[in-house]
Every structure is written in C-alpha cells, then in structure tokens.
Structure 1
C-alpha cells in the first residue's frame, strides 16, 4: 500500500519521481515490529502489485502529457499556417479592435491601398472612405458605427493619394469565451475592373452608343416609374416624340460622319432645353423622345416644345458645311390621355405624324380624334392587304393624245379598288396609307405587271403600238431592286421596253441629286421612257432639270386648271413648254377639261394632253372597243 515515508511500521520505503516533477513514496508496512518469512513473501507480492499499479499510473500520466504536447504543437502549427495565409492572402485583410481601430493589415492591403502598415495602424476604418463620397454614389461608407456581427457588400474605397477603387468587402466579428466582440476582420478584393465591365454593359444595355442618351429600354422604364409617381402624387407628365426634318437628305448628302455629328449636336441641344429631372432619349435614327416630369398642364409642354424648335434652328457646323435643321414634335400628357406607357408612346407618335402633315417644324398635341383616325388607318391597312391577296384591284387607262391630231399615243394606268362591302374606294383614300405602311411597293409592282400584261394583250389584239405610263411611288423609286423588277416584268409580260413609260413626281427628285441621277440612269438602262410628273410643283426644278436623264415633262394640272382665266398659270405653262423643248423633252399637259385649255396648249406647241376633254379613264374592254372602232372607221 502507499503511505507517507515517515510511517514507523514501514518494512520498505521507496521514493519515486515522475517526469512531471511529482514525488511518489512507496512503503510496505508490517503488522508489528517482527519480520518473518510470511512477511517477506507478502513483501515481495505486495511490492510487485504496487509496482504494477505505479506503472499504470505513470503510463496514463505520460500519455496525457504527450497528448497535451501534441495539441500544443498542432495549435502552434495551425496558428503559423493561419498567420501565413492571412499575410499572403490574395484578399486585403484588416483586423480592428471592437471600436473599429485598425490593429493589423496584410501585404495585399498595402499593395492595394498604398498605405504601409505603420501608416494605417491606429486609424479607424473610416479612413478608407473617399473624402467627397456621398450617398448618391450608391456606396456604403465604412464607419465604426456600421460594424455589426457579419456583413458583406460592395464599397467604394480610397487609397493613399485619394485614388478610388471598388472593393467587395466581408466583415466578420470575433468574440471571446464570454461572447463579447473583441475584434473585426475585414477582407476585401478589388472589383474595380468588374465594376467597369458592368458599367459598360449597362451603358450598352440602357444608353445610346452614339449620343450617350437613354435608349428605348431605359426610357420606357423611366416612363413607367414617372407614371406611377404621377399617380401617387397627383402630378402630370408630358411625353414629347421628335423626328428631325430632312435628316436623311443631310445624311445622304454629307455622309454618315456628318450625320452622326448632327445627331450629337441635336442631343446636346435637347438636353439644354430640359431640367435635370427630365429624360431625353434617342430611340434610333433621328427619333428622339423627351419625358417631362411634374408638369402643371399642356402649357408647360408647349413652352418646352417652342424652346426646342427655336434652339434647333440655330446653324450647325458640319465640317466645311453649315446646316439648319428643324423638327416635328408630337406631344401627349398623362394621365389626361392615358396612364399606360405603350399607349402614351403610340399617342405621341400619332401626334408627331400629324405635326408633319401640317407642314413640319412644329408641334401637335394628341387628341382622341387622332386615335380614331389611327384605328381607321389600321383597318384600312388590313383591308388593303386583303385586297391585294384577293385581287380586288382593277386598272383603268386614261388616254394621252397628240394635241393637234387627237390620236391616242399612250395611256396612263390608274388603279381602282372595288371594296366588297364599301364599293368603290377613291385612290385619295388609300394611296397615302399604302405609302405610309409600305404596301405601296407590292401594290405598285402589281400595277406595273398588270399594266404591261394588258397593254401587250391589247397590242396583239389591235396591232396598235400603244404605250402605257405607270406611276412609281417614292418607296418604289428608292428601292434598290427596282431595276430588276422592271426587267422581270418586261420579260414576263412580253412588252418591249420602248412601250413602257415610268412616271416619277418632281418631289421625289428633290433629295440627293446624285443618288437620284444614279437611280434614273439605272432605270433608263432598261430601255424604258422616263417622265417627270406634276412638273412645276417643286422649287428648284429648272436649275437641275438638264442634268436628269428624262424624256417627258407633265405639266401639273394645277397650272392648267385655271387657263385661260389665270394669267400667271398661262405664263408658267408656256414657260415650262418652252424650256422643255429647248432641252429636247416632250411635254404632256394633264387635267385638260375644255377647248380653251386645249387651244392654248396648241398655240404654245404642247406635244400631248390628257384630261376629260379628250377621254375619261377607260376599262380594258372600253379601250379595246375604242381601237376596234378606229379600225372600222379607217377600213
């Protein structure tokens, strides 16, 4: 048994020391002072047992000691690894105390900010805030009062020298055993490049690449927000839709670079006409929209529109050229006209087209009558498509006669539409709609093909070399495929090109003279005759007439109608005939209604005439009968 070393009955005492420094005494006690053989045997046995117990105790003690030493080594090694990881981390690491005072920064922080550890230590984290940073920068500010348990987000920071950079920051709280926060660990990575990429992507997605103005997507978003705000606060907003007048002519004449310069100048001027809370957007091409927030009434929008019209009229320098542009403006109000963004855009667009119809360089407010008209036009467009598909169109032919002999030289093909429920529809009621919607192109091709086929048939039936004149629309004339279409129609119908006359209005020739001449030459190359229709209605015709590859002039009916009562019309008509003949051009006077007009044209040596005095427009059958009668008379 174990006992203290001072026992008087001890037979044997052995002191043992552990490696931990503890002293253990082992003693064998006798029952009395006499030692006998039995006691010696007991001594040996007891001592052996005691040593076994001691060995077990020592083994356990040594095991615990080794475990403790291993844990310390592991902890020390782990701490070393953590320290190295923080020091060499790819992220910037800051450790502060519980008050936000910086105690430690790693090498990445030094590289990112330019501050050394000694320079930054002892400062609060607010030293990282840009000096002039405000909430409008959409960035949090690093302040000790903002520190919480855990947080992560994007922060605009500053380094030494006040250079700025964006960082993705994570803040973690460190607590002691009593759950009290003792430190904060801030880790951050520089995301400035990523923010710049995102900014550029947003710029591309929401802003016009040329002018930097809001694009359609951003404008519609702001329009929807303004509509909601107007509902909450009982305010009004105004939407202005703008389209530059004659932009295409300037762009085609001076080139696309000049066109871009013009658009940039217009964008800057538009921004100068509105307030900071308003939005100017470019939808594409030369179309702009303006959102006016918090207006009192239509007068506010009128004031802005007038200011825009005046500002845009100031000359714009484009390289060596100086141009003046005007604009047409359509205006709609919310909630007066609608509280739906799509409807407001449509309303402003309708008002814009009305402003153009009134003569351009002006503004027009949306009215419900415009909406009713738009619905009618949409219905008419659908019916026109149906008419084209189901062959509801027919052709009439009005003779063009030799002014002296009265013999038919050619006929003008005139389209007519017999509606299945509304009966005959006047061309004045559907040609403009067809032109606006683009349907005029397939309709025009139908007229061209139908006219050539029927005149060829009439030639075969009557053996008369009759010519046919077909009007080209503005869209058809600008179509780059027009030359191919003409060739295909001539080949399909079998009509020889010298029997086809194509009429283009004078107004169609007023844009880019070089492009016009090039297109006329392409048409002329097919072998057809070219006529300028409504001649005299333009403003600079005679100055470039000699440059145009044309064959015939048609005097506008407006100048013929009041002959012989209007001396001015008589002088204009006689002058046009004289100039045309000097240029070796033939002249056709249209709208001849009486003998006085016919006699005046004969005296002034006009070549051909067309009008009800000679013949009304005829159907194919009537025209055939006419030539049959002539043949019988001559026989």
Structure 2
C-alpha cells in the first residue's frame, strides 16, 4: 500500500506539473496570437493611411494641373514673373507694377479658388518663381510674398529644376500639409513653343486625411512633428498661432488629430527611440483598452533621402475591448479545462495504478517465462537460441545453405539522447516491423539487446542470395521514420555467418552467435552501414 501511495503521489506531482506547463503554454500561445493579430491590424491601418496620403497627393496634383493650364492666369503669372526678372536686371520696373500683376492674378483665381476649397478641402494655392524658390503669390495669404523658400520647399525647388510634377508632405512657413506642385508653362498661339514660368502648388492639411481614416476605419489618428522640424521651417508667428506648446509626453507638436483624447494616448504610451518602421502597443485608458500604432513621418526630402531623420510620427489608435475580453475568456477556459482534466487523469491514474500493482507479481512471472521481446513482439534471446539449435540440427540433413545475420543499429544512442527513450522505443518497433516483413515466414528475427537483432535465414541457394537480402535490410533501416513532426534515422552494421549443409558446420549456437557478433563489429570498424562476412574455419 505504501508503494502504491508513493507512486501515486509521485505521478500526480508530475501530472500536475505537466498540466500547469500545458496551461501556461496555451496562455502564452494565446498572447502571441493576440499580439500577432494586433500587428497585422496595425499593418493594415498603416497601409490605409499610406493609400489615403497617395490619393490626396493625386487630388492636389490634379487641381494644380487644372489651374496651371488656364491661359488667363498663366499669362498674368508670366507677366508678373517677367516684371520681377526685368527689375532684377536693373530695368525701370517698380514694385507697384509687379504688385499690379500679382493683384490681377489674385482676382482672377480667388473666386474659383474658394469653390475648390469647399469642394476638395484644399487649403493652399501658391505661385512660386525661380531662382531657387521665391514666393510670388499666396492666394490663401496674399499679404505674404517675396520670401525665399529654397531651404524649406524642396518639392518646388525640384519642380523648378526638373520641370515636372512633385508631391509629398512638407512644412512651409505657415503650415504643414500634403502638397502637389506642377510646372507652369506659357504656350504660344499655335502651342508650338512653351516658356517655363514657375511652379503652382496646391496643398491641404492632415486634418482631412485623419478625419477620413477615423470615419472609414473607426480609429483615432494624429500627426506629430518634432520641435526641431517645426522651428526650422515655420515663421514664429505661425508657430504661436497654430501650436500652443509642445506636448511634454512625446516632446512633439500635435499637427493634427481626429480625436481630442490624443494627449491622454500620448501620456500612456512609450515612444521607442529611434522609432521603428511600425510599433504596436496595447494600453488601458479610462477603463478602455486600445491598440496604439506608431510609425515615422517623413517629409518629401526624407522620402528622397532615406538616411535623414523622420520629422515626426503618425499615431493611430483603435479600441480593442472586444479582443481583450475574448482573450480573457480564453484564458479562463484554458484554466478550467486544465483543472477538470487534471482530476479526470488523477482518477484514471489511481484506478490504473491499483490494477497494475495487484497484477504486477503475476506479470513479472509471465515476462520471465515468455519467449517474446516485450517491446517489439519479436523472439527474445531464449527463443533465438532454441531456433538456432533447431536450425543447426536441420542443416545436418539439409542440402541448402543457411545464415545467421547479426544486425546492430548505428546511431541509436543519439536518438535516445536527442529525442527521448519513447522515440527510441518507437524506432525499434518500426525497424522490427520492417525486418519481419523483409523475411520469409519460416525465417526468424529476434531482438537480443537494446538495438541488436539476429536473423536466421534458411534454404538459401547461395551466399549471393543472402548478401542481396542484407543489402535490402541496410536500405530499409536507413529509411527515415516520421515521429511527432521529426525524422528519426539510423543505419546498421551487419555481420554474417554462413551455416553450410551437412555435418561440417559448427554445432554450438553460442559460438555461432559470438562469431556473428564479431563479424558485426568488423562491419562497424569498416565504417558502419555495411556488411561483413565471417568465414568459419571448421
């Protein structure tokens, strides 16, 4: 009884430990799956953001192209540009004359521009001239003109240089936004010749894009800018008008946000430095759970020169109360199943141990008396000796050849060490099946040790027939055996002793086994996975 109790307690402790490990592994896998789903969702949101930006850039370019192709405005723009060029050359052109062209251009586009702003949520219409980038007319802020933007408006500088369209995010003197810039050409009457006048820019703010993402995906969205970027590009009065102060949580300016809770979100998350290409963090805020996605914001210049530091970050957040509740329910189910399963196994274990101990003595007697290997079901040593003695006697009256093959597995210890004894037992069982199928019904195969097998082959026509069989056995043993998503593979070394017919053979089964064993070791010394034939001297 004490033995049964000790065994039951020991096995119960092992089962409990395995049960706890199983539950913990499931919980960990569920967390990993939950986090993977958050990352996938974040990637989709980032893709949606990038698509929205691209679409907005194309819209800005389309509007700019439409306005740039209007002959009247192009002519006025050309006249103003030519007046400035003449003044630079020292010709008698006054600022009043230049302003007259500027005023005429403004009056020509102002009313139509108001409609464009309402229809397409555009915020900026800006005419630029060379060299570098000089502001000619800000339709949205016409009192500001003539300033040099070469250092901050790289979309315009590249349009001047390459005479083609450019788009992207940039921060100007007044505000940050998505810009579309197109070249403006003056065509002669028959469109045969064109003269480059300057660049026309149409821009919009982040608010439009972030609100669109919020409405379509039900997510909060914000654009953040670094103080260094803002202070380098914007006029001080524009900074004071647009931003109250830098947010302390992120040391950044909030350029735009679709929801007022952005400051609370910023206070709850951790910004990695440097910011990775995409980061996801699950947070709890005011009793709700959110998945917060962040990734770098690069302006037009940063897109052209990837080595530059990002100018800010994009923040996207989504309520995940439903996902968190599902995760918690799954955890409780796992724990419940673990507890119920443990008690069921305990009950079955108690019944099994009780029955096993009551019959243990009887089973021990049966095993000692049996002639069968308990693992593989093959003949054991005792049965082999009987079969070999019978074969020796039969060979005295036979006119055919017989053989004793001693087969030892190569690399079996590594299977036990690397995969466990259960894997080793499984391998032995599978190889036993293969060996049995490879022999005829009147031949004998026995397992006499851990990885040692002996095969008795009778009624052979010649030695070549036996050698061909041995080669087939080597090939069978070499075949990989699938085990729990693993591949178990060993080879074999085979020693062969031939038993001639008549009275000339050895009459001792033990000597034959010993000689076959020696032949097997000769095969191992020859490099393993081979055959060695030992000739018996009579």
TM-score calculated relative to the size of structure 2: 0.31
TM-score calculated relative to the size of structure 1: 0.26
Larger radius of gyration: 1
